[in-house]
Structure 1
Amino acid sequence: MKFFYVLQLSLLFIFLFEGSSMGGLILPAYSAVVEEENGQRALKQKLMYLEKMIFSSTISQRVNSSGKPEAIALLNEVQNNFNQANEMFTAGELEKANELISKSYTMAGKLSQMVADKKNQQQKDQAQFEGLHKQSHSYLKTLEALASEEESLSGYLPDKSIITAQIHEAA
């Protein structure tokens, strides 16, 4: 009797978890639940990051201090989108909430560009200028070295004094 009971339970587990000709019954349902929970968790993390970005980051501070009406309007729109997405998430409308969150991220990126930190941008521009200056100076030194080899390149390059004068003008 005990053997028969164990056999029935074993067959039941095999049918439920691995499935017979109909396929598994529990594993696909369990898998769908796990995927949905992971999707909800990821969406909640996106919402939390967006909330930090538009309410308490330096972006919102720069927008408010910039006084630009278009930037302030865009920030308000992004904040409204966040509130709507949060309500949709709570209501279980995950796809709509995800679309609205993605749209809000795009808008927040535009907003960040509108009120970019000028000091930071100046530092980037200065570094780029210095890099280009070094590169052009290196090219000019290469040209000067090539010009000094007059025997092999006499027919292709202008007079060495012209190149040297141009190098000193550029520096």
Structure 2
Amino acid sequence: MNTQLETLPILIATDPALRKKARLVEQKDLEELKKIVPVMFNTMYEAAGIGLAAPQVGIGLRFFIMDVSKSEEETSEKYVIINPEIIEESEECSEYKEGCLSVPDQSSEVIRPEKIKIRYIDLDGVSRELEADGLLGRCIQHETDHLDGILFIDHISSLKRNIIMRKVIKEQKRSR
């Protein structure tokens, strides 16, 4: 399998699969994940994203990938986060404009905790903890939401959400 050019189709917000809660990754799933993760990174980079959850590419498992480095010159820090569990979050929240590969060309201000701590397993099955804030913390929260069938638009007013979804649906019809 040539993973250099291979990508996966990214599901759009209207797809009901994005609203399903993903199942826990088991030890027996890790070998298959090792094959799919490079393809997911290719897909994410091709779409100019910084995070991609398995449900966004039709895989109903609790894992996501991310790389929040801001430029090619910056050292890439790739993460593969499996079965994440947010175990701490700060009381302080911040607002930040979020977008999503499953809600193309749309964004909105979203309020989330500033700092979080997660427990997860890596691709080798090793249990880890990570404290994160800034873009990394926000990305982890955004991608973890995907694993629970939640999109960033669920964190904004129904008026803004409806406007965004009308635009997404209109664009889907136009591109068919």
TM-score by length of 2: 0.22
TM-score by length of 1: 0.22
Structure with the bigger percentage of strand: 2
Rg larger for: 1
